Amino acid sequence: MRRKKILILSLFLGISSVIFSQSVSDSVLILSLAEAKAYALANSPIIKSSALDVEAAKKKIWETTAIGLPQVSAKYSYSYIITLPEIYKQFAAMGSGGPGAQANLDDLRTSSTLDVTVSQLLFSGSYLVGLQTSRVYRNLSELSLSKSKQDLAESVTNTYLLVLISRENQRLIDSIYRNTVSLLESMKSMYAQGFIEETDVDQLQITVNNLKSTLEVVNQQTGIAERLLKFQLGCPFEQTIRLTDSLPTLAVNMADPGILLQNFNVKQQVDYQLLETQTKLMKLNLKLNQSAFLPEVAAFYQHDKNFNTKAITFTPPDLVGVQVNIPIFSSGMRLARVSQARISYEKALINQQQAEQNLQIGFEDAKAKYLASLNSYTTAQDNFKLAEKVYNRSWIKYREGTISSVELTQVQNQYIQSQTNYFNALLELNKARTKLEKMLVPAELNK
């Protein structure tokens, strides 16, 4: 009976997993480039993890704030004295009802007390600095989230285009392969009838074999690119996706040189703001070490309740007081810590200044690389169009018998190479543009 239940449960789970995977694969995820980036920002595990860091930083602010708010604690204790000291026996002889009234020794053995303590921090330099630090740390986590979003958007853009290029390359290679296979079959018939030599057939067979191998590689590359895009989107690998933006449309947008006219504000750049925030943390660390020379003041109220009214106690029921901790002498340890913190802060200032210059140089370099990529893309595009014309004319000439299979193969290889150069130039143009766009996007906070 138990085996039957296990078998039914296993069968049910297996059917459920099949239905789930089938429902995922049957639903098509239709995405433009903008929709793909928005989908990734909403579903990527990297973004979710960074968002949780922001939430944790917000909770840290309240944790630090609560240190300066009233603290209430209670403690209950019960004790039993096994061997009574002699002084207890003397008190028992005196009696709780006055001299001559003998008290029960067992009443003096037990003690049941409740202590309630209320404390309030009045002044602490480290608390004030810690409160500022927690807020700056929250800004740091928000900037890290903003950078993660920008990096993910850049990666999705590059991979989106890579998938489109891989699919287009796959389509073109497959078309060339099918045309060549069809031509090979025709040449085999012509050879059987004695119109051409066997060498021509063998030469074209080599071309077909090479194209088949190339097509297999392209198919694998396309599959890898699609899986990479799904990974970046945060969707299952079984999910079917359809990309709505066309390659020519994206190519036109990427080739728009208007981006070179936009102004660059280095202080709005997320990398600069990250370094600026780290510098603030170093400054607060210096203040924290300096605050170690200041006293700490706290007030407290304590109530003590003994539930055994016959027990002997010397603790007052209510107590109010102020506690002051004053640092006096540490053999130079605090001074050394302050000196180290000041050095770290000065180094952070230097790094921030260098980063500002490096980012400015990096922006100029990104503009130059984009312009160079744009020129290379234009040249590769023109060469691809010319190679396509030559390839189409060569097919006609080959069918007419005016060129040999060797010449056709050379033209075909030239066409495939120009196609590869064009796609590579388009990828480089896209990478250069997305990098430039990312540098122009200001950092986002509280998003």
Band of pLDDT at residue 284, cut at 50, 70 and 90: very high
Is 163's pLDDT higher than 60?
yes
What is residue 83's predicted lDDT score, i.e. its pLDDT?
75
Per-residue pLDDT for 442 more than 60? yes
User: Is residue 24 pLDDT above 70, yes or no?
Assistant: no
In the predicted structure, residue 244 carries a pLDDT above the cut 90: yes
pLDDT digits (tens, 9 = 90+) for 94-106: 654 444 445 566 6
User: Would you say 113 and 404 are in contact if contact means Cβ atoms under 8 Å apart?
Assistant: no
What pLDDT is attached to residue 311?
A: 65
Type of residue found at 299: A
- Find the mean pLDDT for residues 424-447: 85
Q: Which residues share a beta bridge with 74?
A: 116
Sign of torsion over alpha carbons 199, 201, 207, 210: negative
Alpha helices for 234-332 (secondary structure H):
247-254, 270-290
Q: Give the C-alpha distances (Å, rounded to integers) separating 180 from 187, 202, 207, 409.
A: 10, 13, 8, 10
Per-residue pLDDT tens over the stretch 307-365: 777 666 667 888 999 999 999 988 999 999 999 999 999 999 999 999 999 999 999 99
* pLDDT score of 405 more than 80: no
pLDDT of residue 203: 86
Domains (range + CATH), the chain = 30-69+124-295+331-440 (1.20.1600.10)
Q: Structure pTM?
A: 0.80
In this predicted structure, the answer to whether residue 236 has a pLDDT above a threshold of 90 is: yes
Q: Which residues pair with 133 in a beta bridge?
A: none
310: helix, coil or strand?
coil
Q: What is the mean pLDDT of residues 152-165?
A: 95
Q: Residue 394 has which token pair?
A: 């060569």
The confidence score (pLDDT) of residue 192 equals 87
Between the alpha carbon of residue 16 and those of residues 20, 66, 95, 240, the distances in Å are 6, 49, 80, 19
For the ranges 75-89, 177-191, 265-279, 297-311, which has the lowest average pLDDT? 75-89
Give the bridge partners for 123, in sequence order.
297
> Using the 8-state DSSP alphabet, how is residue 314 labeled?
-
Residues 129-135: what's their mean pLDDT?
93
Q: Which of 16-20, 256-260, 355-359 has the lowest mean pLDDT?
A: 16-20
Q: What percentage of the chain exceeds 90 in pLDDT?
A: 68
With bands split at pLDDT 50, 70 and 90, how would you rate the model's confidence at 409? confident
